[in-house]
Structure 1
């Protein structure tokens, strides 16, 4: 359940108005409704005002709040005409530059180990209605937290947010550490650097935490195989990763050889 500080301005105003109602039951019911079900439409109005009707700033505002949902992003896309001015042909708009500068929050790359990995599924077309909606999720949908976060990142990347460069490294590093292979694939597909973080950090994190599939995908995307990655695999006793790294050309240094003798 949300906290009062997570609610948009319009909802808080209505709570204030209802608080003058003498019928305490009505006040409690409305408060519960607002805390549990802040609608995407109300949330959109709030971030639209905060973003001063400019798409990039509206998206950046939405990312700050826990009420961020597919439903809210759909509202932004559905009302894009009122947010975006026509672009001049042949010139890169200031808004496009602002979209490149938006950094996706780390919480979107969290992975619940008690849930299945997300699936790369097709998003529902804008404008298609479902019987009932709550935070952009239709009635009858059983969507895990991992899947919700993946769908949010995928939708944001489709809205032209960037995951390349120094500011975009966080998502790939966190996903590599968590072993979230579908998220790693998604980020690499949208331009994330396989050597993100300096010193080949994404691959090293995947090796340290024993995520062989993630390590293979990063190497396929251009992450260099190094003796340091092999040393970490030996230190952590990840035998499958050790075997694979040596197959793809990782050469052990003297320290690694000594560690291998102790296995």
Structure 2
């Protein structure tokens, strides 16, 4: 049996609400149920109720909470029939239109520098009775990558909380697998204003990320070259000049000082 400290704080808050119920028996039953079955299935029931059985709202609700996991997404997909009415051919449901407005939270794009970069592994089919996944021992970076990958497969918006937060944070952190994943699902390499994703990759010295953004359409600019010179990222300086970056007067003066 689980302990109270094993429960996510969202469920603890729900327990607190039930504890104020005049019917103590109801509160005790709910407490016992949560302690005995603190599983993705329980979390699914929680967000299903909060989302009022609407798939888009259920997913949006799940994104708010720290107990978001691959197991919870498995539950949502496994019970999709009870959340979404059958679609008419050639028409998009109201739920699909709502999913277009759901954005990925920026916390999913955090990168722990003490861990390796995530790997893009093939998705596994959902089975009715899944054994304990070895993902439990995976790094936080890998788990966040897998979550983003699954959420994008559910047709969520490729942007983060504020449009293109995900691509900008991933470029800044040097998270090349995440940058590739976002670009594959339609992220705009030039988004963020003033070619910001490329500039962040250059400032923080991530050559591989910069190359991928340029390949995806990010324009090579004299500003990117200036930043690379200021930060003394000589490999990036050399590469930018090879792909056509033209130094301005300020950059030329900085190059003379190197």
Q: Are 1:251 and 2:251 counterparts?
A: no
Q: Of 193, 202, 209, which residue of structure 1 is paired with 2:204?
A: 209
The structure-2 alpha-carbon separation of the partners of 1:52 and 1:140, relative to structure 1 and needing over 3 Å to count, comes to: closer
> What is the match of residue 46 of structure 2?
46
- Provide the C-alpha distance between the structure 1 equivalents of 2:189 and 2:6, rounded to a whole number of angstroms: 36
1:173–1:201: 8 Å Cα contact kept in structure 2? Answer: yes
Secondary structure of the residue aligned to 2:164 is helix
The structure-2 alpha-carbon separation of the partners of 1:7 and 1:32, relative to structure 1 and needing over 3 Å to count, comes to: closer
Q: 1:19-168 alignment to 2 at 5 Å?
A: 38-127=38-127, 129-132=129-132, 138=133, 142-163=137-158, 167-168=162-163
Question: How many aligned positions are there?
Answer: 249
The structure-2 alpha-carbon separation of the partners of 1:105 and 1:166, relative to structure 1 and needing over 3 Å to count, comes to: closer
The structure-2 alpha-carbon separation of the partners of 1:219 and 1:250, relative to structure 1 and needing over 3 Å to count, comes to: same
Q: Are 1:234 and 2:229 counterparts?
A: yes
The structure-2 alpha-carbon separation of the partners of 1:166 and 1:192, relative to structure 1 and needing over 3 Å to count, comes to: farther
> What is the match of residue 135 of structure 1?
none
The structure-2 alpha-carbon separation of the partners of 1:32 and 1:115, relative to structure 1 and needing over 3 Å to count, comes to: farther
Q: TM-score, normalised by structure 2?
A: 0.87
Q: Please give the root-mean-square deviation of Cα atoms over the aligned residues, in Å.
A: 2.8
> What is the match of residue 24 of structure 1?
none
**Post-superposition offset of 1:38:** 3.1
> What is the match of residue 7 of structure 1?
11
**Post-superposition offset of 1:188:** 0.3
The structure-2 alpha-carbon separation of the partners of 1:121 and 1:128, relative to structure 1 and needing over 3 Å to count, comes to: farther
1:109–1:174: 8 Å Cα contact kept in structure 2? Answer: yes
Secondary structure of the residue aligned to 2:211 is helix
2:198–2:210: 8 Å Cα contact kept in structure 1? Answer: yes
2:62–2:68: 8 Å Cα contact kept in structure 1? Answer: yes
**Post-superposition offset of 1:85:** 1.1
